[in-house]
Structure 1
């Protein structure tokens, strides 16, 4: 249902050049070029910066592309309603989340939700913090669940819960029974940390810098599952995460979560997000309500159990 100009425009945006778009569409380069020029004439401004190696959206092009994607999403929702696909029993929900939430929290919540809504399908993308924000803004997901340090542009925060960074160790660890744990104490034990592009690592590095304590990890990894398995097999090891990340796994595997009482480690929240102004399907509204109820129920006992 897209016009020829828009189809060709999107092809050039996605491929980065007229020649690549020509190969994708099986249309002559000259034909694509004419349609792009016609579109730019209608818009009243150039949409691309032309380079020897291809074409890149300029500021006007970015604005135009954003509205094209938004209109495409609106059309998808309209068609879904017409066809009756917005019923809870026949809907796909696309979720973007960061790695820590994909470890146990989100899989369990999806499984629990589907007990009473077995017809709802899920597509989950595990991305970086920046990737989750981009997926939500670009319409590549319907809902996002991530740990955040600040408000995101073009995002509605449906729910927010404190998610301080905690120290995780085995219950037999020498620091497990200490009345007070400091970052300096961690220097004596194998430290396993997430990669530096994660909010948990960023806050940990900030706190370490502010306290004048330089900590060198023995291992870094971009998946919490590996950090978790390393911790289980190395009784002296320490890692970091939110209480939301491990949930029942801490008790099941005999792990202790401790706060070090540093303000910088408490600046993070767990946020449930949707795209601002985008219509929601019936199933998505039901799922959001379910997540809000579940996370509200989890947050209070977690805070009480692992308080400083």
Structure 2
């Protein structure tokens, strides 16, 4: 499989956009790496990179070639996973893209559960915006992605979707904690912790603002769900979450309480569990996908499809 090693060199150079940086990552001298790239370009019959003062970037031929490389590497990973299954020991590598809402609770629990049975499987978990997650799927950089409230292109296969209502998060002794539901207007008197970058959660809050004219008093912008929870424990502030960001009952969150926002103010958002259409996942990735679909159906039987 030496030729695949050479192809991997091209992939790393394409990602790093620098022969020097790629050589450091691959533990090979930049001179030797450049020679191998030149030899491959000669074999292909055309340059694959544009040489720039700041580094290199793929040209049109290179973009076509890199898709072939990544497809080949994905197929090899799947075959090796199937071979390892024959020996009774599941090995493999799974890459998951997700926003912070899923990484706060649901994803760590699912990975831990999976590795209790298949401890030889390794994971890469990458925090992405919805647009970045979709781009990573198309570039074969991720096997699986969670995409929150985004328009999905036709070359993405939706494996499962789950509806997620918005919850306000407050201290369990906060004056709002006695309510079973809240209007956005109820939160106006309190400092708010809001998401910073484009995300499904930010979109839900913007929809609510437009519907209700409720201009929340945001004092902190952050995409870190755990930071938001920790901060709300320190001040009588209001944060916002979806159910996938916490485990168990909204009433048992270690000093916090999650209170549903009236859906007439903010309609539920949709979390999509997706993969690239037409891509055959490795055994390890496919089994992990199946486990997560089962977990979503078990926890949200009425809103998972």
The Cα shift of 1:173 comes to: 3.0
Aligned pair 1:288/2:293, yes or no? no
- Alpha-carbon offset, residue 12 of structure 1: 4.4
CA distance in 2, matches of 1:224, 1:217: 15
| Cα pair distance change 1:281/1:290, threshold 3 Å | same
Q: What per-residue deviation string (whole Å, max 9, x for no partner) do you get for residues 166-225 of structure 1?
A: 322234333344586333332210101222232211331343245433323111222100
Other-structure match for 2:125: 125
Question: Which residue does the alignment assign to 1:245?
Answer: 245
Q: 2:91 maps to what in 1?
A: 90
Instruction: Please give the secondary structure, in 2, of the residue aligned with 1:203.
Output: helix
Matched, 1:174 2:179: no
- Give the equivalent residue in structure 1 for 2:101: 100
Measure, in 1, the Cα distance between the counterparts of 2:88 and 2:147. 27
Count of residues paired in the alignment: 296
Please name the residue that 2:135 is paired with: 134
Distance of 1:38 and 1:140 partners within structure 2: 26
Superposed CA RMSD: 3.4
1-structure distance, mates of 2:31, 2:270: 48
Q: 1:36 aligns with which of 25, 37, 41?
A: 41
CA contact (8 A) 2:169 2:239 kept: yes
User: What is the rounded CA distance, in whole Å, between the counterparts of 1:125 and 1:31 in structure 2?
Assistant: 31
- Secondary structure of the corresponding residue to residue 198 of structure 2: coil
TM-score by structure 1 length?
0.78
Between the aligned partners of 1:161 and 1:5, the Cα distance in structure 2 is 42
Give the secondary-structure state (helix, strand or coil) at the position aligned to 1:285: helix
Cα deviation for residue 293 of structure 1 reads 1.6
Question: Which residue in the other structure is 2:31 paired with?
Answer: 26
CA distance, structure 1, for counterparts of residue 244 and residue 187 of structure 2: 22
**CA contact under 8 A between 1:120 and 1:283: conserved in structure 2?**
no
For the residue of structure 1 that corresponds to 2:136, the secondary structure is helix
Matched ranges for 1:1-308 at <5 A: 1-2=2-3, 6=7, 9-10=10-11, 12-16=13-17, 24-27=29-32, 32-33=37-38, 35-41=40-46, 47-82=48-83, 84=85, 87=88, 89-115=90-116, 117-129=117-129, 130-152=131-153, 154-178=155-179, 181-234=182-235, 236-248=236-248, 250-253=250-253, 254-262=256-264, 265-266=267-268, 268-300=269-301
Query: Does the CA-based 8 Å contact 1:113-1:287 persist in structure 2?
Result: yes
Which has the higher mean CA deviation after the structures are superposed, 117-126 or 172-181? 172-181
1:34 CA displacement: 5.9
After TM superposition, the structure 1 stretch with the greater mean CA deviation from structure 2, 167-176 or 193-202, is 167-176
Q: What secondary structure does 1:188 align onto?
A: coil
Q: How has the CA–CA distance of structure 1 residues 49 and 188 changed in structure 2, closer, same or farther, with 3 Å as cutoff? A: same
**Structure 1 or 2: more helix by fraction:** 1
Please report how far the alpha carbon of residue 137 of structure 1 lies from its aligned counterpart in structure 2 after TM superposition.
Answer: 2.8
CA drift of 1:13 comes to 2.3
The alpha-carbon deviation at position 108 of structure 1 amounts to: 2.1
Give ranges in structure 1 of 5+ residues lacking alignment: 304-308
| Unaligned stretches of 5+ residues in structure 2 | none
Task: Specify the SS of the correspondent of 1:27.
Answer: helix
TM-score, L = length of structure 2: 0.79
- What SS is found at the alignment partner of 1:191? strand
Shift of 1:272: 1.8
Secondary structure of the residue aligned to 2:125 is: strand
Shift of 1:49: 4.2
Q: Secondary structure, in 3 states, of the residue corresponding to 2:168? A: strand
Query: Shift of residue 70 of structure 1?
Result: 0.8
For 2:251, what is the secondary structure of its paired residue? helix
Q: Secondary structure at the match of 2:230?
A: helix
